Amino acid sequence: MNKKVMEDLQVSGKKVLVRVDFNVPIKGGIITDDNRILAAQETIKYLIKNNAKVILFSHLGKVKSEKDKTKLTMKPVAHRLSEVINQDVIFIDQTRGEKLEKAINDLNDGQVLMFENTRFEDIDNKKESSNDPELAKYWASLGDGIFINDAFGTAHRTHASNVGIASNSQISVPGYLLEKEIKFIGGIIDQPTRPLVAILGGAKISDKIGVIENLLNVADYVVIGGGMGYTFLKSQGHYVGDSLCEDDKIELAKELIEKGKGKLILPVDIVVNDQFGNDGDIKVVDIDQIPVDYMGLDMGPKTVAKFTEYINKANTVIWNGPMGVFEMSSFINGTAGVCKAIAAHKEATTIIGGGDSAAAAIQLGFASDFTHISTGGGASLEYLEGKELPGITCLTNK
């Protein structure tokens, strides 16, 4: 990694601006998943230990009107963070103004302050998400020239709270969380330890065209499951019944298979049902035996075994996207089987590229068995496509 890091900074007594990703689900004022808060604590605790005055900010949801402000305030997040770091977090319910400025200027070394949801600035001409230069300059002025970006989830966006502040700061570095994303996901694209096996799932080819194309250049094998698999199967002449299929992407699927020259691995059996639900006439069939009016909702056991063979021969595995409708208990086995196989392969570097795959690993209890679980959904996909992410590019080079 060619970026400066936190250890290159002198933070003692300095007001340090930290962009975190605390876009967590909240229902009735209660946080239902605090993983993103837990993931950021290493950076925050480092700054506290080194006597920085820590100023945190994040977006939360999509703020489209004044009415959204009540349910999308960062106040419950500040409260939960105070429990996580075992220290009071000062919360200021503003994104700008005298109250915020005074609270920041009154901070003692080692104290932590969080200000309000950055997307509150989007109600007025989308100033945050359009990287409004005046807003970016103002937010940068709240610190002492030091900016830490630890929000990988927004690193693919050019916002005032990341790129804007960085362009108005003396030095900008990744926090520990973003540093890991650069090391693991960026490292896979730049210098993979081979054999590299990429496992891709999810609903549609159209969501991951760039990822598939790039990984066919980078990986030794690209294993395809989930809903997108049926478009590939149909492109090879298989009848897929009522399974999810993008007919307008069949020619593209053919081209990708030809481009892969044996690298692209497809299912051999699937779990079908005569309805979309946990009940119905559920059965396992080979890919050339899908009954009329049935739909594929999961990978079958022979496919899981085949995918496991490729996993076991890899030195690096990256997984992005579920193998079926894992939210339904009748169709979780494909995703669970792949997850277990990756988790059991301790000799390899194993990475989950965020999104539903991360949710599945956490739900199944395997989160601690992976080398790295990305905190970014869209950012992970764009990074895997080989794109430069503006929230990383803007950081200070060594």
* Tens-place pLDDT, residues 94-118: 999 999 999 999 999 999 999 999 9
Task: Specify whether 168 is located in the same domain as 199.
Answer: no
353 and 380 Cβ atoms separated by less than 8 Å: yes
Query: Is 392 domain-assigned?
Result: no
Task: Specify whether 171 is located in the same domain as 191.
Answer: no
Task: Specify whether 162 is located in the same domain as 188.
Answer: no
Task: Specify whether 171 is located in the same domain as 190.
Answer: no
Residue 300's domain is classified under what CATH number?
3.40.50.1260
112 and 86 Cβ atoms separated by less than 8 Å: no
Task: Specify whether 169 is located in the same domain as 209.
Answer: no
177 and 149 Cβ atoms separated by less than 8 Å: no
Q: Which long-range contacts (CB under 8 A, 24 or more apart) does 96-100 make?
A: 96/121, 96/135, 96/138, 96/139, 100/142
Q: How far apart are CA 298 and CA 71, in angstroms?
A: 36
Query: Is 38 domain-assigned?
Result: yes
Q: Which residue has the tokens 């890991």?
A: 180
Task: Specify whether 166 is located in the same domain as 210.
Answer: no
Query: Is 389 domain-assigned?
Result: no
Query: Is 398 domain-assigned?
Result: no
Q: How many domains does the chain have?
A: 2
Please report, in angstroms and rounded to a whole number, the separation of the first and last CA atoms in the chain. 9
Task: Specify whether 11 is located in the same domain as 61.
Answer: yes
Which of 176, 199, 214 delimits the end of a domain?
176
Task: Specify whether 216 is located in the same domain as 364.
Answer: yes
Task: Specify whether 113 is located in the same domain as 140.
Answer: yes
Host domain of residue 316: 184-384
Query: Is 74 domain-assigned?
Result: yes
pLDDT in tens, 176-186: 999 999 999 98
Angle, CA of 216, 219 and 222, to the nearest 5°: 65
Longest CA–CA span in the chain (Å) reads 70
Catalytic residues: 36, 204, 355, 378
Query: Is 342 domain-assigned?
Result: yes
Enter the DSSP assignment of 12: T
Please give the pLDDT value at position 359: 85
Query: Is 170 domain-assigned?
Result: yes
Q: Which of 264, 245, 337 shows the shortest CA–CA distance to 300?
A: 337
Which of 138, 160, 176 delimits the end of a domain?
176
Task: Specify whether 168 is located in the same domain as 202.
Answer: no
Neighbours of 346 (CB within 10 A): 8
Would you mind telling me the total number of residues written for the chain in this entry?
398
Beta strand 146-149 with 112-115 is: unpaired
Which of 176, 205, 228 delimits the end of a domain?
176
In this prediction, the residues of the chain whose per-residue pLDDT falls under 70 are: none
Enter the DSSP assignment of 262: T
Query: Is 57 domain-assigned?
Result: yes
Task: Specify whether 191 is located in the same domain as 329.
Answer: yes
The predicted model scores a pTM of 0.89
Task: Specify whether 222 is located in the same domain as 119.
Answer: no
Percent of the chain residues past pLDDT 70, beyond the cut:
100
